């Protein structure tokens, strides 16, 4: 079963991470895994057209490879966060190696925000990371990466589930390109029609 909206029980069981915010009418759009040559420019163009700001959780290797895209993200008023150096899975990586990956990524991503790839983060890792970062999770996951989830399904789930204060997760990678370019403008328009504003996450 795909849980687009993060259950309250999970938030309660995994405290000391940011799952959302208290807000009357603001939501927080985030993009994981970039920047990418194939999609970042397109995302930025859509955000600029719609006058929306977002937060990009970047992979260090990509930030190193595309410094001009990192600069453009920031110049256009968006924020960035650390998403490890090589998108490591915490459940398959030693604590020492995982923390080293975050530190290495910091050379290319100037931010005190961190989001663990796959949403996996053992408590022992979290305690060390919390010394330097705010750990940002999410309230609503788009499943844009899942080939079985259509753009229409994403838009329908968003319509029924997204609430003020929610942190939304989309992706900036090649495998979601066609789907995201189609549904992102419609998603933004739909949320704006509901009177919701967009803002960045900042530490």
pLDDT of residue 60: 98
What is the residue-averaged pLDDT of the chain? Answer: 96
Q: Which one of the listed residues 78, 83, 166, 171 is annotated catalytic?
A: 171
CATH architecture, domain 8-198 = Alpha-Beta Barrel (3.20)
- The DSSP code for 71 is H
Active site residue 83: no
28-48 tens-digit pLDDT: 999 999 999 999 999 999 999
- Chain Cα centroid distance, residue 117: 10
Active site residue 197: no
As a whole number of angstroms, the distance between CA 123 and CA 139 comes to 20
Close Cβ partners of 172 (under 8 Å, ≥ 6 residues apart)? 31, 32, 33, 34, 35, 36, 39, 40, 43, 56
- What average pLDDT does the segment 49-64 reach? 98
Locate all alpha helices (DSSP H) within 88-135, ordered by sequence.
95-105, 123-129
Q: Which one of the listed residues 32, 33, 144, 172 is annotated catalytic?
A: 32
Q: Residue 11: pLDDT band by 50, 70, 90 thresholds?
A: confident
Q: Looking at the predicted structure, is the pLDDT value of residue 67 above 90? A: yes
For β-strands 79-82 and 55-58, DSSP reports them as parallel
Q: Looking at the predicted structure, is the pLDDT value of residue 203 above 80? A: no
pLDDT of residue 40: 98
As a whole number of angstroms, the distance between CA 81 and CA 109 comes to 7
For residue 35, is the peptide bond before it cis, meaning its omega torsion is within 30 degrees of 0? yes
Q: What is the CA radius of gyration of the chain?
A: 16
pTM, full prediction: 0.96
Close Cβ partners of 18 (under 8 Å, ≥ 6 residues apart)? 134, 135, 136, 137, 167, 201
128-153 tens-digit pLDDT: 999 999 999 999 999 999 999 999 99
Q: Looking at the predicted structure, is the pLDDT value of residue 73 above 90? A: yes
């Amino acid at each position: 079963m795909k849980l687009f909206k993060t259950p309250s029980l999970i938030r309660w069981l995994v405290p000391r991470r940011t799952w959302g915010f208290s807000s009357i009418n603001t939501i927080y759009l985030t993009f994981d895994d970039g920047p990418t040559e194939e999609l970042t420019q397109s995302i930025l163009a859509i955000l600029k057209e719609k006058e929306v700001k977002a937060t990009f959780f970047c992979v260090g290797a990509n930030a190193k490879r595309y410094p001009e895209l990192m600069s453009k993200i920031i110049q256009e008023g968006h924020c960035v966060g650390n998403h490890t150096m090589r998108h490591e899975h915490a459940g398959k990586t030693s604590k020492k190696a995982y923390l080293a990956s975050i530190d290495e990524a910091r050379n290319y991503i100037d931010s005190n925000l961190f989001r663990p790839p796959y949403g996996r983060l053992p408590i022992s890792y979290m305690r060390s990371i919390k010394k330097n970062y705010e750990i940002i999770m999410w309230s609503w996951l788009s499943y844009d990466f899942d080939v079985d989830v259509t753009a229409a399904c994403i838009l329908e789930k968003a319509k029924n589930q997204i609430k003020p204060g929610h942190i939304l997760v989309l992706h900036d990678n090649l495998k979601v390109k066609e789907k995201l370019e189609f549904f992102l403008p419609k998603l933004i328009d739909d949320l704006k029609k509901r009177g919701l504003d967009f803002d960045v996450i900042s530490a």
